[in-house]
Amino acid sequence: GDLRSVLITSVLNLEQLEVDLFRCAGRHHWVPATQRLFGGQIVGQALVAAAHAVSRDEQVHSLHCYFVRTGDPKVPVLYEVERTRTGKSFSVRSVKAIQHGQPIFTCQASFQLSQGSPVQHQFTMPTVPPPEELLTQEELIQKFLQNPNVAEGYRKRLTKIQAQDVPIDIKPVNPPDIFSSEPQEAKQLFWVRARGYIGETDMKVHCCVAAYISDYAFLGTALLPHRQYRIKFMVSLDHSMWFHAPFRADHWMLYECESPWAGGCRGLVQGRLWRRDGVLAVTCAQEGVIRVEQTPNQSKL
């Protein structure tokens, strides 16, 4: 069968130091080019820590996080859990991520015992080609690199992206023309899944993996209408998730992302993760800092 996902064996594998205190045990699997800790990793690990502090039957239904300091990929992260409330139907857990003795991230997660209700509805999933008909991000980059006219500086940047060891499979539905600086609508669709096998396990595990996946390429949606600028600095300020229905994070899901607003050096993005059968599984939202250089991009060709 498939190899077990590195997200389970390493990235989201926490070492328990004492009750409600954890340390990330694995190496920081994928570090973005910015040399900061990947936000999705911190969100995923914080949810792992919070999930340890509730009963098996309680499932996470929402999560609200703030990134308060830059994460340092060179040192471990400590996760401190506080049992804020344990009720009959709902429990709230607060998590603080600490490095160098200071909080780098805070989050609250709410868990619920399963309850049925006649009040149910959801949006309709967009109609898109299935993942089997689309190319992966790596294959797309490979295709672009075969163009002999690609400028050397840009070729280096693409090769660097290609060499990143991201533990996620991604298939963009309408990949943007990489050579164009034309503004685009602030929307993107891609199929995503964890690389490797996770299997039928506690739903909380799949939620932790989805937290990791949901932060990848999310904020970039806000830049699609502004492709004439070069990014100087881009970092997540917060991250929120609502979990609606069970799903498998190692199966293809459609990530529908849009940015309703940007201004004041900030951008807002919202996303929906759809199961292949049309069920809305997760809703996400995030605000980030976006600073660009006023000078137009140098030519890519």
Q: In sequence order, what DSSP letters do the residues of 168-219 get, joined into one string?
A: EEEEESS---TT------SEEEEEEEESSB--S--HHHHHHHHHHHHTTT-G
Averaged pLDDT for residues 247-269: 98
Answer for the pair 111, 76: CB distance below 8 angstroms, yes or no.
Answer: no
- Residue whose tokens read 């739903």: 203
Phi, psi of 219 (to 5 degrees): -65, -25
Give the Cα separation of 4 and 161 in Å (integer): 24
Averaged pLDDT for residues 36-43: 91
Give the Cα separation of 182 and 176 in Å (integer): 10
- Res 295: pLDDT: 63
- Res 294: pLDDT: 77
- Res 152: pLDDT: 77
Give the Cα separation of 20 and 11 in Å (integer): 19
Residue 177 in this model has a pLDDT that exceeds 90: no
Phi, psi of 13 (to 5 degrees): -95, 110
Give the chain's domains with CATH numbers.
6-113+135-296 (2.40.160.210)
Q: For the chain, what is the largest distance between any 2 Cα atoms, rounded to a whole number of angstroms?
A: 64
pLDDT by residue (tens digit) across 63-112?
A: 999 999 999 988 999 999 999 999 999 999 999 999 999 999 999 999 99
Residue 2 banded pLDDT, cuts 50, 70, 90: low
Residues annotated as catalytic (active site), given as ranges: 215, 236, 286
Residue 155 banded pLDDT, cuts 50, 70, 90: confident
- Res 273: pLDDT: 99
Give the global pTM.
Answer: 0.92
Q: Which amino acid does the sequence have at 184?
A: Q
pLDDT by residue (tens digit) across 59-70?
A: 999 999 999 999
Answer for the pair 272, 214: CB distance below 8 angstroms, yes or no.
Answer: no
Residue 225 banded pLDDT, cuts 50, 70, 90: very high
CA end-to-end span of the chain: 43
Residue 35 in this model has a pLDDT that exceeds 90: no
Adjacent-strand bridge partners of 231: 292
Averaged pLDDT for residues 147-160: 74
Long-range contacts of 79-88 (CB under 8 A, 24+ apart): 79/14, 79/21, 79/22, 79/23, 79/24, 79/45, 79/46, 79/48, 79/49, 80/20, 80/21, 81/20, 81/21, 81/22, 81/49, 81/50, 81/52, 81/53, 82/20, 83/20, 83/53, 84/108, 86/54, 88/113
- Res 40: pLDDT: 93
- Res 1: pLDDT: 46
Residue 161 banded pLDDT, cuts 50, 70, 90: low
| More confident: 28 or 178 | 178
Q: DSSP secondary-structure letter at 220?
A: G
Averaged pLDDT for residues 189-203: 93
Residue 28 in this model has a pLDDT that exceeds 70: no
Residue 301 in this model has a pLDDT that exceeds 60: no
Most confident of 20-29, 67-76, 220-229, 234-243: 234-243
Residue 34 in this model has a pLDDT that exceeds 80: no
Least confident of 17-26, 142-151, 248-257: 142-151
Averaged pLDDT for residues 241-247: 98
Mean pLDDT of the chain: 91
Question: Quick one: CA dihedral 198, 202, 203, 206, positive or negative?
Answer: negative
Adjacent-strand bridge partners of 169: 193
Averaged pLDDT for residues 170-191: 89
Long-range contacts of 261-264 (CB under 8 A, 24+ apart): 262/186, 262/222, 262/225, 262/226, 262/290
- Res 63: pLDDT: 98
